[in-house]
Amino acid sequence: MPPRKRRDTGPAWTAPGEKDTLVGFLDYLRNAIVDKVADVPEPEVRTAGVPSGTNLLGLIKHVTAVERFYFLEEPITDMRRTFQPTRDDTVDGLLAGYRATIAQANQVIDTWTDLTRPAPRPPGRALPPSQRWVLVHMIEEIGRHAGHADIIRERIDGATGR
């Protein structure tokens, strides 16, 4: 029997403001990428789904590092390595780390009252971007990688949808 496609419901259409709308989309995409990785067994979760070597576990490791960079001001010394899980990295461990990062990032976002103001300054950058730019960029970043995860997951077991 082919895998069942889950019905996907996006963020609320009636969010009260711009920040609520942006955070709603960001959280929706965060959940989408987590859902694509959860319940995928070893070694499939770390097996490259495309010639570039991209794999589900590496995608979670990467989006965690990028969120920590933009929201928590943690440096990334080697962007390529953020896509490479170590032998010791596990699905449960990386997903727990990503969920903790999301909670910390959302605490930062909760303090933002004017999206034109500067966001935390990422290490190595001369000027900080606006809070709006960071939220939109993270929607784009997580959305792109959630799409990668969709394709890799479908190649693993045929699962589609969120």
* CATH number of the CATH domain containing 113: 1.20.120.450
Q: How many whole angstroms separate alpha carbon 35 and alpha carbon 31?
A: 6
Does the pLDDT of residue 73 top 80, yes or no?
yes
| Residue 114 Rama label (left phi>0; alpha psi -120 to 50; beta) | beta
With respect to residue 99, please indicate whether it lies within any of the assigned structural domains: yes
How many domains would you assign to the chain?
Answer: 1
Amino acid at 25: F
Does the pLDDT of residue 161 top 80, yes or no?
no
With respect to residue 28, please indicate whether it lies within any of the assigned structural domains: no
Question: What pLDDT is attached to residue 11?
Answer: 75
Rounded to an integer, the average pLDDT of 132-141 is: 98
Question: What pLDDT is attached to residue 162?
Answer: 63
In the structure encoding, which two tokens stand for residue 135, read together? 């939220």
List the Cα angle 50/51/57 in 5-degree steps: 50
Q: How many whole angstroms separate alpha carbon 112 and alpha carbon 53?
A: 37
Rounded to an integer, the average pLDDT of 75-92 is: 95
Rounded to an integer, the average pLDDT of 5-21 is: 76
Rounded to an integer, the average pLDDT of 107-128 is: 91
- Binned at pLDDT 50, 70 and 90, residue 3 comes out as low
With respect to residue 151, please indicate whether it lies within any of the assigned structural domains: yes
With respect to residue 12, please indicate whether it lies within any of the assigned structural domains: no
What does the radius of gyration of the chain's CA atoms come to, in whole angstroms?
16
Rounded to an integer, the average pLDDT of 28-57 is: 95
Report the predicted TM-score, pTM, of the whole model to 2 decimal places: 0.91
With respect to residue 149, please indicate whether it lies within any of the assigned structural domains: yes
With respect to residue 79, please indicate whether it lies within any of the assigned structural domains: yes
- Non-local (6+) Cβ contacts of 55 within 8 A are 45, 46, 47, 48, 49, 85, 152
Q: Which residues pair with 130 in a beta bridge?
A: 118
With respect to residue 85, please indicate whether it lies within any of the assigned structural domains: yes
Does the pLDDT of residue 123 top 80, yes or no?
no
Rounded to an integer, the average pLDDT of 41-67 is: 95
How many Å from the N-terminal Cα to the C-terminal Cα in the chain? 19
Question: What pLDDT is attached to residue 13?
Answer: 75
Task: Express as a percent the part of the chain with pLDDT over 90.
Answer: 80
Q: CA 141 from chain center: how many Å?
A: 7
Question: What pLDDT is attached to residue 6?
Answer: 56
Structural domain for 123, as ranges: 38-157
Rounded to an integer, the average pLDDT of 31-54 is: 94
With respect to residue 17, please indicate whether it lies within any of the assigned structural domains: no
* Cα pseudo-dihedral 127, 59, 31, 12, rounded to 10: 50
Question: What pLDDT is attached to residue 121?
Answer: 84
Rounded to an integer, the average pLDDT of 59-82 is: 96
